[in-house]
């Protein structure tokens, strides 16, 4: 499996709360978040990992340079500031569109490795007519969650900004796609679309068959207290 990591955000909310380190280098259980994520991808058999980092955070690029010999030509790093996470996603997909199936996640998406392995196995074994598999969670701890409506067989029917009476899942920030999805992404960029949720809506509108995969709890690191909450959860069993 091939993977992409979006680590190009500016971490403005954390900086405003007094956190001085760039978000990708914040430690969880003693390891920088981006290092922890790379370790997991390595253990699940990553064939290729494409990473995009913010050019205004050179210490993140230096950290990845130190890790590069361990990964060899499997790891590629793009240092670039982008106007939105969707544009960062576009850069990553440009690096992976010739690799077959791939998975892209953000650096601050926190999950347990065993849950991620279940997701990867499901995506690897998905039916040929499944164009994408999005990780979802019932754990809602986001200021503006993206609600995911599913139909039969966990096929995704819609992405919604607000919950409804039967709402259950929100996006987990992990995206499994085939190369064909990059065509829709190109169109979104050309049309000035800037939010990942609107790209996912465009995939549904284009007739792509997307499935949801319940990964159990998935957390984001958006605020300073989230770091301790994530550590306590990861260390608990």
Tell me the pLDDT tens digit for each residue of 74-84.
999 999 999 88
Residue 236 has pLDDT above 70, yes or no: yes
In this structure, the number of other CB atoms found within 10 A of the CB of residue 144 comes to: 8
Q: Is-contact 150 138, C-beta < 8 A?
A: no
Geometric angle at alpha carbon 111, from 130 and 168, rounded to 5°:
60
**Looking at residue 225, what is its pLDDT?**
92
**Looking at residue 98, what is its pLDDT?**
83
- What CA–CA distance (Å, rounded) separates 20 from 51? 22
| Mean model confidence pLDDT for the chain | 93
**Looking at residue 197, what is its pLDDT?**
95
**Looking at residue 11, what is its pLDDT?**
66
Judge residue 162's burial from the number of C-beta atoms within 10 Å of its C-beta, 0-12 exposed, 13-18 middle, 19 or more buried: exposed
Residue 15 has pLDDT above 70, yes or no: no
Report the candidate in 138, 125, 155, 142 with the shortest Cα–Cα distance to residue 214.
138
Residue 54 has pLDDT above 80, yes or no: yes
Give the rounded percent of residues in the chain with a pLDDT score beyond 90. 82
**Looking at residue 10, what is its pLDDT?**
67
- What CA–CA distance (Å, rounded) separates 4 from 172? 15
pLDDT tens track for 182-233: 899 999 999 998 899 999 999 999 999 999 999 999 999 989 999 999 999 9
**Looking at residue 150, what is its pLDDT?**
97
């Amino acid at each position: 499996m091939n993977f992409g990591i979006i680590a190009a955000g500016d971490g403005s909310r954390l900086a405003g709360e007094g956190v001085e380190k760039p978000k990708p280098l914040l430690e969880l259980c003693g390891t920088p978040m981006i290092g922890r994520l790379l370790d997991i991808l390595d253990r699940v058999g990553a064939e290729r990992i494409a990473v995009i980092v913010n050019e205004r955070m050179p210490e993140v690029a230096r950290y990845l340079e130190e890790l590069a010999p361990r990964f060899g030509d499997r790891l590629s790093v793009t240092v670039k500031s982008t106007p939105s996470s969707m544009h960062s996603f576009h850069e990553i997909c440009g690096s992976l569109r010739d690799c077959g199936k791939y998975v892209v996640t953000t650096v601050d998406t926190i999950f347990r490795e065993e849950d991620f392995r279940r997701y990867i196995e499901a995506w690897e074994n998905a039916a040929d007519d499944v164009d994408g598999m999005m990780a979802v969670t019932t754990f809602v701890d986001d200021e503006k969650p993206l609600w995911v409506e599913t139909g039969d067989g966990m096929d995704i029917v819609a992405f919604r900004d607000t919950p409804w009476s039967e709402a259950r899942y929100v996006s987990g920030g992990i995206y499994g796609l085939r190369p064909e999805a990059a065509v829709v992404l190109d169109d979104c960029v050309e049309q000035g679309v800037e939010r990942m949720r609107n790209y996912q809506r465009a995939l549904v509108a284009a007739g792509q068959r997307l499935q949801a995969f319940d990964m159990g709890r998935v957390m984001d690191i958006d605020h300073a207290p989230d770091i301790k909450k994530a550590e306590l959860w990861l260390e608990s069993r």
